[in-house]
């Protein structure tokens, strides 16, 4: 063969484009070719196969290249180029293979000679790339290639790049694949990922795209490299190009891409394949049946399989279903529309009829809209619209209807009704009322009673969703009257159910249940649970049952799409019930999830109610300021939605928050507006909630007399509503108000009734826990319970309640817990009120309490107290000063105690004094020790959490600011410091074991700040620095340890510390 028949440029890897991006992901897959006999790279045109392969030239490895062309399907030419590729890349390559080929034309002998030569010449891994193999493939070439690959020397690895997805016709290929000797790099691997698109435009094209732009590029181009390049060229030519607009309107670059596809793809197909591609371009998804509907042929399945095998931008979806690549699809549609728009419309109609018969209504509507058959589309939408809404597909329905011109919508009242539903479910309530009214007028004009009833029910639903029973009533009554004349028992039952819900909203649960029973009788159904029945339980005090049902529903609904249900959302109801039962965390989580659900469902109303429920949960957590922010947000959202009713519950919450924050005037204003708003809406239950919140706030502010009226009104309303829980809460607050007014008999009457309700309905948590209707501080009720027990009232029940609060041994109580901080600065609180310096009156009063806390395990003889606090004073002066200090102490911790009442916190027995056994006192040092004791019995995350909670209490050493030099405090200080050091050491070790070197080092520093000879901390620090790769710093820590131990203790580091040094060296 003369040398001029070999084109040298076919033997040279293409030069890398200036803007080519090295993609580590693709590079890693190419490098894996060195582990395989042959690697098949398959992708259609424009996927950058050659560019990806060209990167191999930068590897430090022998590379041989052969770019096949159409003439190389001749085995002689194919083999000649293959031999030439090796001759081009290897010095002193034997002439034997080429000579045999030229002299004899025996390709098999020439291949064997080539294999022998390669075996002798190569002694390290090498790569042969055969690019565009699909252009050379033929029966003879495939046989030749199979033989060559079958006997490759072990150091030679081959990458074969082709456009088509067919399996190569190599005899041994299935066996090689089964033995793991075949690597495959397909189109998906060559497509750019989102991160790679970002890197390409940022690092190579100098365009810093937003996340949304990157996402759009990925979705529209599907990572197709040539398309990305053309988009960049458009952006470079027009720097202000908006990517969204680029795809929407088309550009010069897209026209270039379409021209490329027309020339290099479509024109290369047979006339039948071209016709098939253009005809089926109207379809969004391809299968044999749908293709047959728009392209009359019996061979649709075979044509689809052929196109997919040829990788003609046909993407397999599974189960013999396909779709076109997005941009290729755009090209086909544009080309078909340009060639014959009338045929395109006819195909859309044929597809619509096919899908309608198959009951695939989504596709039927899509094709009717594309065919501009708007009335036909409207009729299908009317048929399936309610089912689409029930499935939660609001956007789908809205998109369909938006595509229908207004003059066509005006002739379809049910479409107008569906527009009302869409507006209502998206919380655009005024728009909803307008659409329902327009539908009502159309149905009245058509004299359609069923349609009129439908429209009236829609208007009623607006007021039901926003809990405005007064406004809903007239629409529901008229709907019921019209339903009586219709032969539609289901519609009549549904109206009765809506009436039942409205009666509940109006605070009439008995009437609600009667209406529900009538509805069930019409439908011939037994009792069942639904949103209405759960709300009945909520508003009648059956909270446990309601919560159990809602929790089941919440689990079932997780991840499921549904239409917005306004205030009936499971999560909203669950959050409110948990708040009423004092489950702060559960209430908060459900409220957060509800707010997120509102955003997901595009329902501002749900999000607004969720904000209110977040406020309730924050109140239970003690964050009154955060709660008020949530309520203000709800009110703002309600005003934006023009739904004043939303303010009622938020204002109820504000009333409670302002009241317990001590802002009575704001509480009264919020309550007045809440009551007015709820009454205007006809919701007496929410009116009662606002009244009880106001009464609670007034009582808390020591305005018990003013609290009696709103609490009495709330009690009467709850009684009328049949709400036993509300009655119990109102009775408790009335008992507290009468207690504050020294009206003990009236207090007992209300408390007895509250306890009876609590016992009957399992409401003990209302008394023992912070709840939405109950106490902000549950200890406020303890004095009342103790008094009732002394009077012989419900002693067993009261004992159980006190035990639940951890106060079973208490004999006197002021209505709050005494809290003492002993780590660092000494601070004491009565409930939430800190005792300030003036209230102590005497410094010795503070010291006396510090002494009693230090010696809290036992009482102290008076003489021992004198010795510790008045050592230098004469006995008479010490006795006098002690008496003054003791009185000042009792006055500071119990300022409201009558002189003849038993002190709740300080005990005296003969001549001994101390903290009262069983007193309600919280001491940080005790909490610290208890948490560490629990940590000792725990492991893993639980132990780490306990350790961190305990150590967070340790602000500084015990009473270090007040009793630094007091002998009586030293032992306790040293005991607690030892606990601290051991706990911090264990936490540092746990953190190091988790790989958190930074936190470990921080805790070691804390340890050494208090005991610089704590040798184990140095070892932990050495390991932590080694973990971070800083061995020099680890050695410096060792040197510091050695120096400190020599200076302070005159000893050398232990063998364990030396071993760590050797280990990390």
Task: Map tokens 């991840």 to a residue.
Answer: 559
Q: How many CB atoms lie within 10 A of CB 825?
A: 12
Residue 509 structural domain: 412-528
| Mean pLDDT in residue range 759-776 | 95
Q: Which residues contact 658 (CB under 8 A, 6 or more apart)?
A: 628, 664, 666, 667, 670, 697
Indicate if the pLDDT at residue 616 is higher than 50: yes
Q: Are residue 44 and residue 183 in the same domain, yes or no? A: yes
Of 95-104, 139-148, 241-250, give the lowest mean pLDDT range: 241-250
Indicate if the pLDDT at residue 462 is higher than 50: yes
CA distance 789 to 780: 16
Residue 839 located in a structural domain: yes
Q: How confident is the model at residue 1033 (pLDDT cuts 50, 70, 90)?
A: very high
Element (H, E) at 827: strand 827-830
CA distance 293 to 186: 32
Residue 384 located in a structural domain: no
CA distance 1016 to 143: 72
Q: Are residue 83 and residue 220 in the same domain, yes or no? A: no
Indicate if the pLDDT at residue 170 is higher than 50: yes
Residue 85 located in a structural domain: yes
Domain closes at, from 483, 498, 528: 528
Element (H, E) at 1039: helix 1031-1049
Using CB atoms within 10 A of its CB, is residue 135 exposed (0-12), middle (13-18) or buried (19+)? Answer: middle
> What are the percentages of helix, strand and coil residues in the chain, rounded to 5?
70, 5, 25
- CATH code for the domain in which residue 1031 is found: 1.25.40.10
Pairing of strands 126-131, 314-318: unpaired
Q: Are residue 273 and residue 213 in the same domain, yes or no? A: yes
Q: Closest Cα partner for 677 from 650, 708, 713, 711? A: 650
pLDDT digit string, tens, across residues 397-431: 999 999 999 999 999 999 999 999 999 988 889 99
- SS3 of residue 271 by DSSP: helix
| Mean pLDDT in residue range 445-454 | 91
Domain closes at, from 924, 953, 983: 924
**What is the predicted pLDDT for the residue at 257?**
61
Indicate if the pLDDT at residue 122 is higher than 80: yes
Indicate if the pLDDT at residue 3 is higher than 50: no
Q: Closest Cα partner for 26 from 43, 9, 5, 44? A: 43
Instruction: Give the CA diameter of the chain.
Output: 133
**What is the predicted pLDDT for the residue at 528?**
62
Average pLDDT, the chain: 90
Strand order in the sheet with 827-830: 833-834, 827-830, 818-821, 921-923
Q: Are residue 442 and residue 520 in the same domain, yes or no? A: yes
- CATH code for the domain in which residue 835 is found: 1.10.10.10
| Mean pLDDT in residue range 822-851 | 94
Q: How confident is the model at residue 661 (pLDDT cuts 50, 70, 90)?
A: very high
Check: CB of residue 374 under 8 Å from CB of residue 401.
Answer: no
* More reliable by pLDDT, 71 or 940: 940
Strand order in the sheet with 860-861: 860-861, 912-915, 906-909
Q: Where are the alpha helices (DSSP H) in 524-580?
A: 531-539, 543-557, 570-580
CA distance 1026 to 986: 19
Indicate if the pLDDT at residue 1044 is higher than 60: yes
Q: Which residues contact 113 (CB under 8 A, 6 or more apart)?
A: 94, 96, 97, 100
**What is the predicted pLDDT for the residue at 5?**
64
Indicate if the pLDDT at residue 822 is higher than 60: yes
Q: Are residue 155 and residue 115 in the same domain, yes or no? A: yes
| Mean pLDDT in residue range 632-646 | 90
Q: What's the Cα-to-Cα distance from 250 to each of 230, 244, 324, 334, rounded to whole Å?
A: 12, 10, 19, 11
Indicate if the pLDDT at residue 913 is higher than 80: yes
**How many structural domains are present in the chain?**
5
**What is the predicted pLDDT for the residue at 626?**
96
Using CB atoms within 10 A of its CB, is residue 511 exposed (0-12), middle (13-18) or buried (19+)? Answer: middle
Reported in sequence order, the residue ranges of 840-881 that DSSP labels E, i.e. its strands, are 860-861
Q: Are residue 351 and residue 208 in the same domain, yes or no? A: yes
Indicate if the pLDDT at residue 602 is higher than 80: yes
| Mean pLDDT in residue range 648-668 | 96
Structure tokens at 781: 């009720």
pLDDT digit string, tens, across residues 485-507: 666 777 787 888 888 888 888 88
| Mean pLDDT in residue range 342-348 | 95
**What is the predicted pLDDT for the residue at 2?**
40
Q: Are residue 166 and residue 200 in the same domain, yes or no? A: no
Residue 202 located in a structural domain: yes
Indicate if the pLDDT at residue 4 is higher than 50: no
* More reliable by pLDDT, 1040 or 206: 1040
**What is the predicted pLDDT for the residue at 312?**
67
Pairing of strands 906-909, 912-915: antiparallel
Size (the chain), residues = 1065
CA distance 758 to 543: 12
Domain closes at, from 505, 528, 551: 528
CA distance 617 to 510: 30
Q: Of the segments 175-179, 315-319, 401-405, 534-538, which one has the largest average pLDDT value?
A: 401-405
- SS3 of residue 485 by DSSP: coil
Check: CB of residue 828 under 8 Å from CB of residue 849.
Answer: yes
Q: Which residues contact 876 (CB under 8 A, 6 or more apart)?
A: none
Q: Is the dihedral of CA 518, 524, 527, 530 positive or negative?
A: negative
Residue 609 located in a structural domain: no
Q: Which residues contact 999 (CB under 8 A, 6 or more apart)?
A: 988, 991
CA distance 843 to 837: 9
- Give the per-residue SS3 of 39-78: EEEECCCCCCHHHHHHHHHHCCCCEEEEECCHHHHCHHHH
CA distance 560 to 578: 23
Q: Which residues contact 778 (CB under 8 A, 6 or more apart)?
A: 767, 768, 769, 770, 805
Of 39-48, 181-190, 979-988, 1006-1015, give the lowest mean pLDDT range: 39-48
Residue 261 located in a structural domain: yes
Q: Are residue 327 and residue 454 in the same domain, yes or no? A: no
| Mean pLDDT in residue range 388-399 | 84
Q: Are residue 226 and residue 143 in the same domain, yes or no? A: no
Residue 598 located in a structural domain: no
| Mean pLDDT in residue range 715-721 | 92
Q: Are residue 462 and residue 352 in the same domain, yes or no? A: no
Of 58-67, 122-131, 435-444, 508-517, give the lowest mean pLDDT range: 508-517
Q: Are residue 448 and residue 326 in the same domain, yes or no? A: no
CA distance 311 to 40: 15
Task: Map tokens 């019209």 to a residue.
Answer: 482
CA distance 640 to 235: 40
Q: Are residue 342 and residue 480 in the same domain, yes or no? A: no
pLDDT digit string, tens, across residues 684-706: 999 999 999 999 999 999 999 99
| pTM confidence score | 0.67
622: left (phi over 0), alpha (psi -120 to 50) or beta: left
526 alpha carbon, distance to own chain's centre: 38
Work out the angle between the directed axes of helices 374-390 and 361-370 (0-180°, nearest 10).
150
Indicate if the pLDDT at residue 1 is higher than 50: no
Q: Closest Cα partner for 798 from 764, 824, 823? A: 764
Q: Give the side-chain half-sphere CA count within 13 A for 314.
A: 28
397 alpha carbon, distance to own chain's centre: 27
CA distance 772 to 725: 11
pLDDT digit string, tens, across residues 943-975: 999 999 999 999 999 999 999 999 999 999 999
- CATH code for the domain in which residue 26 is found: 3.40.50
**What is the predicted pLDDT for the residue at 559?**
77
Residue 744 located in a structural domain: no
- SS3 of residue 993 by DSSP: helix
Check: CB of residue 432 under 8 Å from CB of residue 420.
Answer: yes
Residue 204 DSSP label: I
Check: CB of residue 21 under 8 Å from CB of residue 56.
Answer: no
């Amino acid at each position: 063969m003369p040398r001029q028949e070999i084109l040298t440029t076919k033997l040279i890897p293409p030069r890398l484009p200036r803007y080519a991006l090295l993609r580590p992901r693709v590079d890693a897959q190419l490098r894996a070719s060195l582990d395989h006999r042959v690697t098949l790279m398959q992708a259609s045109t424009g996927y950058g196969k050659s560019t990806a392969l060209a990167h191999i030239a930068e590897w430090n490895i022998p590379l041989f290249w052969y770019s096949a062309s159409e003439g190389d399907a001749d085995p002689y030419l194919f083999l000649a180029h293959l031999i030439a590729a090796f001759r081009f890349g290897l010095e002193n390559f034997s002439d034997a293979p080429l000579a045999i080929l030229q002299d004899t034309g025996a390709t098999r002998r020439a291949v064997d000679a080539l294999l022998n030569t390669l075996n002798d010449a190569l002694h390290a891994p090498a790569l042969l790339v055969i690019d565009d193999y699909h252009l050379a493939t033929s029966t003879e070439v495939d046989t030749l290639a199979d033989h060559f690959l079958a006997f490759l020397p072990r150091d030679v690895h081959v990458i074969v790049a082709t456009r088509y997805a067919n399996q190569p016709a190599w005899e041994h290929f299935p066996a090689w694949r089964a033995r793991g000797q075949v690597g495959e790099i397909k189109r998906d691997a060559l497509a750019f990922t989102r991160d790679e698109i970002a890197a390409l435009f940022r690092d190579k094209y100098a365009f810093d795209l937003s996340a949304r732009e990157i996402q759009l590029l990925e979705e529209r181009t599907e990572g197709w490299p040539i398309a990305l390049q053309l988009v960049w060229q458009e952006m470079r030519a027009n720097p202000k190009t908006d990517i969204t607009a680029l795809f929407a309107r088309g550009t010069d670059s897209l026209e270039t891409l379409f021209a490329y596809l027309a020339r290099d793809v479509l024109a290369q197909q047979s006339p039948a394949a071209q016709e098939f591609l253009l005809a089926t371009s109207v379809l969004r998804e391809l299968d044999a049946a749908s293709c047959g509907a728009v392209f009359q042929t019996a061979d649709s399945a075979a044509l689809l399989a052929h196109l997919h095998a040829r990788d003609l931008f046909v993407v397999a979806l599974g189960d013999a279903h396909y779709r076109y690549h997005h941009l290729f699809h755009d090209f086909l549609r544009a080309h078909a529309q340009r060639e014959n728009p009338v045929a395109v419309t006819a195909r859309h109609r044929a597809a619509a009829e096919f899908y309608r018969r198959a009951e695939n209504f989504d596709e039927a509507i899509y094709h009717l809209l594309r065919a501009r058959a708007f009335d036909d589309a409207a009729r299908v939408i009317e048929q399936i619209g309610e089912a689409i809404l029930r499935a939660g597909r609001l956007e789908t329905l809205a998109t369909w209807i938006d595509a229908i011109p207004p003059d066509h919508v005006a002739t379809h009242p049910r479409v107008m009704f569906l527009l009302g539903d869409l507006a209502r479910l998206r919380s655009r309530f005024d728009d909803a009322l307008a659409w329902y009214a327009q539908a009502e007028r159309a149905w009245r004009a058509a004299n359609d009673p069923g349609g009129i009833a439908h429209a009236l029910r829609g208007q009623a639903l607006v007021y039901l969703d926003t809990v405005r029973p007064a406004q809903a009533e007239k629409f529901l009554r008229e709907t019921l009257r019209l339903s009586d004349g219709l032969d539609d028992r289901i519609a009549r039952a549904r109206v009765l159910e809506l009436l039942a819900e409205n009666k509940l909203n109006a605070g009439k649960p008995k009437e609600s249940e009667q209406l529900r029973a009538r509805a069930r009788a019409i439908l011939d159904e037994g009792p069942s649970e639904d949103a209405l029945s759960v709300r009945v339980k909520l508003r009648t005090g059956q909270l446990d049952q309601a919560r159990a049902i809602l929790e089941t529903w919440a689990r079932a609904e997780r991840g499921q799409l549904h239409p917005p249900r306004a205030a009936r959302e499971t999560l909203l109801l669950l959050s409110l019930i948990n708040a009423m039962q004092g489950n702060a965390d559960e209430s908060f989580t459900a409220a957060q999830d509800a707010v997120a659900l509102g955003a997901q469902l595009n329902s501002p109303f749900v999000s607004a109610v969720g904000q209110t429920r977040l406020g309730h949960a924050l109140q239970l957590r003690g964050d009154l300021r955060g709660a008020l922010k949530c309520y203000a947000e709800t009110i703002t959202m309600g005003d934006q939605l023009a739904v004043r009713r939303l303010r009622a519950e938020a204002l109820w919450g504000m009333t409670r928050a302002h009241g317990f924050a001590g802002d009575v005037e704001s509480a009264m204003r919020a309550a007045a507006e809440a009551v007015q708003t709820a009454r205007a809406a006809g919701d007496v239950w929410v009116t009662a909630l606002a009244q009880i919140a106001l009464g609670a706030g007034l009582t808390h502010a020591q305005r018990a007399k003013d609290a009696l009226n709103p609490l009495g009104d709330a009690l009467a309303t709850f009684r009328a509503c049949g709400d036993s829980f509300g009655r119990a809460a109102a009775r408790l607050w009335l008992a507290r108000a009468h207690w504050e007014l020294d009206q003990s008999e009236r207090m007992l009457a209300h408390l007895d009734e509250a306890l009876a309700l609590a016992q009957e309905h399992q409401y003990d948590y209302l008394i023992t826990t912070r709840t939405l209707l109950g106490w902000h501080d549950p200890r406020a009720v303890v004095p009342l319970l103790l008094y009732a027990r002394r009077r012989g009232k419900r002693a067993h029940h009261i004992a159980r309640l006190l035990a639940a609060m951890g106060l079973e041994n208490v004999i006197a109580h002021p209505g709050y817990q005494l809290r003492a901080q002993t780590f660092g600065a000494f601070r004491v609180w009565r409930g939430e009120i800190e005792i300030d310096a003036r209230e102590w009156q005497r410094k010795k009063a503070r010291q006396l309490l510090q002494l009693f806390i230090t010696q809290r395990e036992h009482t102290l003889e008076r003489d021992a107290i004198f010795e510790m606090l008045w050592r230098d004073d004469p006995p008479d002066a010490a006795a006098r000063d002690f008496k003054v200090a003791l009185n000042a102490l009792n006055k500071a911790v119990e300022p409201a105690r009558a002189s003849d009442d038993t002190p709740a916190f300080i005990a005296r027995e003969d001549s001994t004094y101390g903290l009262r056994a069983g007193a309600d006192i919280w001491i940080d040092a005790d909490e610290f020790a208890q948490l560490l004791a629990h940590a000792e019995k725990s492991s893993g995350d639980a132990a780490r959490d306990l350790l961190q909670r305990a150590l967070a209490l340790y602000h500084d050493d015990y009473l270090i600011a007040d009793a630094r030099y007091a002998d009586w405090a030293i032992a306790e200080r040293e005991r607690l410091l030892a606990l601290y050091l051991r706990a911090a050491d264990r936490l540092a070790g746990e953190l190091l074991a988790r790989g958190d070197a930074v936190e470990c080092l921080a805790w070691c520093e804390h340890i050494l700040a208090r005991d610089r000879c704590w040798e184990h901390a140095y070892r932990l620090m050495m390991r932590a620095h080694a973990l971070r790769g800083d061995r020099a710093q680890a050695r410096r820590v060792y040197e510091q340890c050695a120096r400190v131990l020599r200076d302070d203790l005159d000893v050398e580091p232990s063998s364990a510390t030396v071993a760590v040094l050797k280990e990390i060296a």
